[in-house]
Structure 1
């Protein structure tokens, strides 16, 4: 399992459209996978992703998983400092240490799910020197090909006390 590292990242912003995820109360739940896929497909079908691509500052596709009170939200979008399009939202990622997990091959959703499972179920346990900080989690599609994906998942972490 040497597909991960902890690295400091500069602050960045994702703009995108969001949906509330159901049947889970933590930032990571296996129940979210099909909901994320359906939402992402709907954004492509209705042209929202094309609108966001014009505002992107790099070629990567981004998603963010956030929690507000008891509701978990999924944003699909791009990294950008441009003004928000109508009905779009934003997620700010603070400068922080991030657990960065990398994967490739196969469908992007499956790769993201496997990396998030690894982060939350295998690595971020009481024996790991880092713990989840509670901030938003980023999913990044590096190669633009969701059918044969190269992906990263960034989980904000703090040094365990």
Structure 2
């Protein structure tokens, strides 16, 4: 079951490693899923995420999708105000209202995909009072268990019109 709500979130700074999502041009595309999975797995297996964990200001697991001038990027990282490691990048999340989608059960990647598909395929339609504002989207693993995940997706929005 998917639950949704609008929530105001304070600005935060995200630091992490990124990769371009070359398969699409929109912020949400179903072709991104295997690319996201492979990248995040490589960041864990290569020990990159372990270098960020001590810098994290949250117990949750984070990833992000962002539109940048030269493409759509996927980030694996943590929220932190610590200095950015030399091989990592910084991604600011501005204060905003967010469409927060929550779900649970199954693999984290599949849960994130389900929530993002629901956000962009069902909720953010022409009748909804909010629209996506173009800022980064957060994927948040709440329970630390990617095999039986409890997750949220935070889509930044503004009121329509």
TM superposition score normalised by structure 2: 0.97
8 Å CA contact 2:55, 2:82 repeated in 1: yes
By how many angstroms is 1:90 displaced?
1.2
Q: Distance in 2 between matches of 1:36 and 1:145?
A: 17
Matches within 5 A, 1:117-132: 117-132=117-132
4+ runs deviating over 4 angstroms: none
TM-superposition CA deviations, 1:99-148 (whole Å, max 9, x none): 00001110000000000001111010101010000111000011111111
**Gap runs ≥5 in structure 2:** none
* Equivalent position of 1:158 in the other structure: 158
Residue 8 in structure 1 maps to residue 8 in structure 2:
yes
Match in the other structure for 1:73: 73
Deviation, 1:69, is 2.4
Q: TM-score, normalised by structure 1?
A: 0.97
- Secondary structure of the corresponding residue to residue 92 of structure 2: strand
**Structure 1 range deviating more: 18-27 or 63-72:** 63-72
Q: CA deviation at 1:13?
A: 1.1
Residues 53-98 of structure 1 show CA distances to partners (whole Å, capped at 9, x for unaligned) of: 0111111111110011251000001111100112100111111100
* Structure 1 gaps, min length 5: none
- What is the count of residue pairs matched by the alignment? 161
Alignment RMSD (CA, Å): 1.0
